A = this chain, B = another copy of it.
Amino acid sequence: MDQGMLQQALTHGRRYVRYGKPAGYIPELASKNPSKLGIAVCDMKGNMSAVGDCEDKFTMQSISKVIALILALEQNGFDNVFCKVGLEPTGDAFNSTVRLDHLTDNKPFNPMINAGAIAVTSTIRGATLEERKKVCIEYARRLTGNPELDVDYEVFLSETETGFKNRAIIYLMRSNGIIEGNCEEHLELYFLLCSMACSCRDLAVFAATLANNGVSPITGEQLIQPRTVKLVRSLMVTCGMYDYSGEFAATVGLPSKSGVGGGIISCAIGQYGIATYGPSLDDKGNSIGGLKMLEYLSDSMDLNMF
């Protein structure tokens, strides 16, 4: 993609970063510089364009829910995952637990909310917790094309120590029979996934792999089955941007997933993988500068899929 176009998007996005603030629930996130902003775009041939703070490292947070879902689907098949989690959007805020035990069949609504992602993570296989961790990190490295991708262990520790709400969620699902096995281990794996550190460049490769029907634009390898890709992209549209998903589909129209670490991945199917970073969040938990840059690109380059 044209570097000038990205530069214009960045200039546009910068106007908005002041209206939000970084996530505050752990010190590692709260201390981020809210004026940071970057964007990277990878096309289907692996060409990368990037501007702004595109080398900055940040944790994936909810973006890792997409990786967990893909891995779980590839390991277990659709039926073994969707017996534990639904496919429906909720309309609830990103930090809500209130309707978890509301469903008659007890399943969390979808894999993009915490409850759903925890249920999905619980199905990721491996002989031991360490092996399960290794499988996740290895897969994330292949999807991002970055063999050095790793966990931010300070964030991981903080999440583990303060994740009381997620602990509540997993024990509620344990009582409902959705979760089997060792809850603390599943949680540890979940927090590890959330704490994977990456840059916009890493995520642009991942997004491009999704936009390219599962084939890495770097290696040409089929990393995800096309059927899985389609399902994941549809969930990114209906549930990827917390309770802004509907409005984002209507205004930007790209399968995307946001994380409270400040990242967003976005797919222009068959064209581009896009990743933005900006730790200043709006009140729905989405990067405010990231949203504005994606809006700008979608409008300027007619990327809206609807």
Contacts and interface: CB of A to CB of B under 8 A. Distances in A.
23 contacts: A87-B247, A87-B249, A88-B247, A89-B245, A90-B90, A91-B91, A97-B101, A164-B171, A164-B174, A167-B167, A168-B169, A168-B170, A168-B172, A168-B174, A168-B175, A171-B171, A230-B250, A234-B246, A234-B249, A234-B253, A237-B306, A238-B238, A238-B245
A249 B101 CA distance: 25
Q: How many copies does the complex hold?
A: 4
A14 interface: no
Contacts of A246: 86-89, 110, 234-235, 238-239
Interface in A61-92: 86-92
A15 interface: no
Interface in A222-275: 230-231, 233-235, 237-239, 243-247, 249-250, 253, 255, 269
Interface of A: 86-92, 96-99, 101-102, 109-110, 164-165, 167-172, 174-175, 183, 230-231, 233-235, 237-239, 243-247, 249-250, 253, 255, 269, 304-306
B172 A306 contact: no
B167 A171 contact: yes
Contacts of A239: 246
Nearest to A165: B175
3 nearest A-B pairs in the assembled complex, by CB-CB distance = A164-B175, A89-B89, A168-B171
A243 B88 contact: yes
A89 B238 contact: yes
Nearest to A90: B91
Contact of A171 (B88, B165, B238): B165
Contacts of A269: 306
